[in-house]
Structure 1
Amino acid sequence: MKKYLLVILCLLAVFTLKAQTHTLSRHAEISVLTIGPGSSLNDAFGHNAFRIKDSLNHIDVVFNYGIYDFNTPNFYIKFAQGRLNYLIGMNYYKDFYRNYKEENRTIKEQVLNLSQNEKQRLLNFLANNIKPENRRYLYDFFYDNCATKIRDVLETVTDNKIKFNTPDGFKEQTFRQLIYSNLNKNSWGSFGIDLALGSVIDQKATPYEHMFLPKYIFKFFENVTLSNSGEKLVKQTHILYQKTDTPETNNFLTSPLMIFGIIGILILFITFKDYKNKKRSNWLDVVLFFATGIIGILILLLWFATDHKGTHQNYNLLWACALNILVVFQFFKKSIPSWFIRYLKFLVILLCLMLLHWIIGIQVFAIGLIPLLIALFIRYVYLINFFSSNKATDL
């Protein structure tokens, strides 16, 4: 979802001042713009905006939500905590169009069938919303983003007179499946999302909730009717710019599945050598327990120490056990206590539970993890057998 960082404040202030007192002409049109996905992760889901066009008054501007404010104190800390306020911004349409055309992203327009009073109310709402004291809002990727704002503002200015009808062939999906529809499952962006977001996004999204994605704003708005008249909300649809198809690059060699496949093979190879030589590579176990422990702590922080709703109930903790960071020092002792062997068995059980969660659909995990999970399982089993047969011996 495109973030506009450069806003000409003086022009914005002048426009806002005029918009509060100016009356739109009867030729004014208000439309919803839907921007196709971009190449980077933050652009992968598209974007939505309002366009207000009034040729008699020489107005052609775009209002869009979801803008970063890098001047916010402690920006990155607030972003990580889920407590970062985003902004509504205003751009001249020609600049808005040129920017997305240069990025080769499709631009679709849906001209809305609004009354003159509703058009004026929408303009007044946005003009008031963009005032410095009003333009910040607490962003939420699933429930309060650039797409849901379009829907919510329209419901407000029409007094909830718009009726959302499900499109033909509509199929309910989970939030994670909806994210996958815009991302390659074997990409680092998808991997990061699968690692950071918990089982709450594996719940079925209602048809209304599907509109957190810009493309569903477009699909649903095509079928919206006005409850007072039965007419359609969208009276015209235009493709303002159609992206030019470009060859897709194949990044499999640097994908999560490939990288973790190499790591998994390396772990299995070292484990096999250890088995043949009846020894244990201490450095490998320290690295594995330290890394999984740190990842587990980060997952716990995202779950309990932030306001992000999507990071709750994250069962990646079943493989990235935070307790590993506390027991890693056992590998430096001359003998291993019996409780540590039981702890290793506990880790094996956790991996089995993770597989069960995956199979029955409680949570879907990153496919790139598969080689690592297999390697961890085999390594833990080897450690159990090694320590069980070498109790109280020097390591």
Structure 2
Amino acid sequence: MKLAGRLLLTLALILCSACLPAQAEVENAPGANLEVSLITYGPGDIYWERFGHDAIELRDTVSGEEVDFNYGVFNFDEKNFFLNFARGRMHYLIDAEVTTDEENFYKQAGRSITKQQLALTPQQAAALRDFLFWNLRPENAGYNYDYYIDNCTTRVRDALDRALGGAIKARLTKLPGGMTYRQQTVRLMSAQPWLMLILDLGLGPYADQPLNAWQESFLPEKLQANLSSVTAMDEHGAPAALVQSEELLSPNHLSMPPPQPPDLRVPMGLAGLLIAGLIALAARWWLPGFALFGSLYLLAAGLVGLLLLILWTLTAHHSAWANANLLLFNPLALLLLPAVWRKLRGITPSHFTDGTLLLQLLALIAAMLMHMLPGTVQQNQPWILFALPIWLALAWGMRQRSRH
């Protein structure tokens, strides 16, 4: 993610022009002199690196010049960056760097580097090169980033598919994917458990739709693997494997994500039972504790509900829209805060409190019944198992007589 890349590339081109006047360069080499490769970088330690990264490498076989094009540049100093991020309007850029500079960065970070040389015809290689340099122009470089459907890997995938006349998409849309967006997200973020839980809580039913291999190629590692199944026509019109060779240029030195996502149902269910038990015991034997535990949960549930509602109605984060977790955590919880404190004074719950509790319990039933419906249903069972016993304990505790 280095913004000085374009300046370094320009300098390299100038130096090459001065030192090798008789040789071609990537920008103006004939297509027959261009080698095209997909470079895949393994996941990093920082949360935004957990999904991995990739680039298209163009190499001029005459001059030896190698340039990496990647779509993963963003700028924290951009005006209203964090506001745009919160609203789901993130601005990313394509960038180009000398291959050795790019690879040295990832080697020093301990991330793996894999190179797949691709079998493009001279015409396809030249068309890809022309498109990438056109895309590199300042007026064309920016795009609106989306985690799943328009990111630094889908842009690489689409550029290659464009040069190949749609051969990649035609093949991969016929193959099933292995996981959903949610499963891949939970798997890759499992090294940061709290962030993993936050993302899982915030993802709506969009993240649970079945994917084909083309869609699942939003991940660098999946695009790398899926290209091995693609064939393309060579310059003589005969079918040939798209991936000519694959080489591990640098091994991984970091902990790798697990091959499967963790099953959150048991730990979340146990956590819900533990909190529910504390609330129930406090309601029976220690009213200040009931007021404290109940208030903390209701405050958290209400604020989470407000955030989920904002994500749905006021942002472009479409993967968070129509989140069924709103049935479990919603602003109704904030209306119940006075009731848990009134219990300290022995005041019987009002009709308003009873009605609010009834609405919440009906919402819980609706959340469970949704899993009996056909079609794509949000896979939020861990959060149902967490929230259900807590809400039942709160409802029971508000009606329970305490013992001093």
TM-score range, shorter chain: 0.7 to 0.9
Question: Which one is further off, 369-378 or 130-139?
Answer: 369-378
Q: 1:185–1:191: 8 Å Cα contact kept in structure 2?
A: no
Q: 2:42–2:113: 8 Å Cα contact kept in structure 1?
A: yes
Task: Give the deviation of 1:52 after TM superposition.
Answer: 1.2
The residue identity in structure 2 corresponding to 1:71 is D
* 1:378 matched residue in structure 2: 393
Change in Cα spacing, 1:163 to 1:6, as seen in structure 2 (3 Å) is closer
- Of 105, 108, 112, which aligns to 1:106? 112
| C-alpha distance in structure 2 between counterparts of 1:177 and 1:219, whole Å | 18
| C-alpha distance in structure 1 between counterparts of 2:367 and 2:192, whole Å | 20
* 1:320 matched residue in structure 2: 329
* 2:123 matched residue in structure 1: 117
Q: 2:182–2:207: 8 Å Cα contact kept in structure 1?
A: yes
| C-alpha distance in structure 1 between counterparts of 2:11 and 2:273, whole Å | 60
* 1:214 matched residue in structure 2: 220
The alignment partner of 2:188 has SS state of coil
Q: 1:299–1:314: 8 Å Cα contact kept in structure 2?
A: yes
1:1-40 counterparts in 2 under 5 A? Answer: 4-13=1-10, 22-24=28-30, 26-40=32-46
Q: Deviations over 1:223-252 (max 9, x none)?
A: 11115532121111111112147699xxxx
Q: Deviations over 1:244-275 (max 9, x none)?
A: 47699xxxxxx999799678635522431321
Task: Give the deviation of 1:344 after TM superposition.
Answer: 0.8
Q: 2:33–2:60: 8 Å Cα contact kept in structure 1?
A: yes
The alignment partner of 2:329 has SS state of coil
Change in Cα spacing, 1:100 to 1:367, as seen in structure 2 (3 Å) is farther
Change in Cα spacing, 1:34 to 1:351, as seen in structure 2 (3 Å) is same
* 2:69 matched residue in structure 1: 63
Work out the number of aligned pairs and report it: 379
- Of 179, 190, 204, which aligns to 2:185? 179
Question: Which one is further off, 225-234 or 93-102?
Answer: 225-234
* % identical equivalent positions: 25
Change in Cα spacing, 1:91 to 1:118, as seen in structure 2 (3 Å) is same
| C-alpha distance in structure 2 between counterparts of 1:7 and 1:366, whole Å | 46
Task: Give the deviation of 1:78 after TM superposition.
Answer: 0.3
* 1:155 matched residue in structure 2: 161
Q: 1:257–1:369: 8 Å Cα contact kept in structure 2?
A: no
The residue identity in structure 1 corresponding to 2:311 is L
Question: Which one is further off, 325-334 or 266-275?
Answer: 325-334
2:350 is the alignment partner of 1:337 = yes
Task: Give the deviation of 1:194 after TM superposition.
Answer: 0.8
Q: 1:20–1:128: 8 Å Cα contact kept in structure 2?
A: no
Change in Cα spacing, 1:380 to 1:15, as seen in structure 2 (3 Å) is farther
- Of 47, 54, 57, which aligns to 2:53? 47
* 2:195 matched residue in structure 1: 189
The alignment partner of 1:222 has SS state of helix
* 1:393 matched residue in structure 2: none
1:339-378 counterparts in 2 under 5 A? Answer: 339-357=352-370, 362-365=377-380, 367=382, 370-371=385-386, 373-378=388-393
Q: Which runs of 5+ in 2 are unaligned?
A: 18-24, 258-263
| C-alpha distance in structure 1 between counterparts of 2:395 and 2:293, whole Å | 12
Change in Cα spacing, 1:259 to 1:220, as seen in structure 2 (3 Å) is closer
2:329 is the alignment partner of 1:295 = no
- Of 266, 273, 276, which aligns to 2:282? 273
Q: 2:12–2:98: 8 Å Cα contact kept in structure 1?
A: no
The residue identity in structure 2 corresponding to 1:45 is F
| C-alpha distance in structure 1 between counterparts of 2:147 and 2:189, whole Å | 15
Q: Deviations over 1:338-380 (max 9, x none)?
A: 1321211221232333344467772223747845542333222
Q: 1:16–1:130: 8 Å Cα contact kept in structure 2?
A: no
Q: 2:38–2:55: 8 Å Cα contact kept in structure 1?
A: yes
2:99 is the alignment partner of 1:93 = yes
The alignment partner of 1:354 has SS state of helix
Q: 2:36–2:56: 8 Å Cα contact kept in structure 1?
A: yes
| C-alpha distance in structure 2 between counterparts of 1:352 and 1:16, whole Å | 65
The residue identity in structure 2 corresponding to 1:154 is L
TM-score (normalizing by structure 1) = 0.83
The residue identity in structure 2 corresponding to 1:338 is H
* 2:314 matched residue in structure 1: 305
Change in Cα spacing, 1:120 to 1:277, as seen in structure 2 (3 Å) is closer
| C-alpha distance in structure 1 between counterparts of 2:384 and 2:74, whole Å | 32
- Of 246, 259, 262, which aligns to 1:237? 246
Q: 1:16–1:128: 8 Å Cα contact kept in structure 2?
A: no
Task: Give the deviation of 1:77 after TM superposition.
Answer: 0.6
Q: 2:269–2:382: 8 Å Cα contact kept in structure 1?
A: no
Q: 1:33–1:108: 8 Å Cα contact kept in structure 2?
A: yes
| C-alpha distance in structure 2 between counterparts of 1:324 and 1:207, whole Å | 41
Change in Cα spacing, 1:66 to 1:186, as seen in structure 2 (3 Å) is closer
- Of 62, 76, 79, which aligns to 2:82? 76
| C-alpha distance in structure 2 between counterparts of 1:206 and 1:133, whole Å | 33
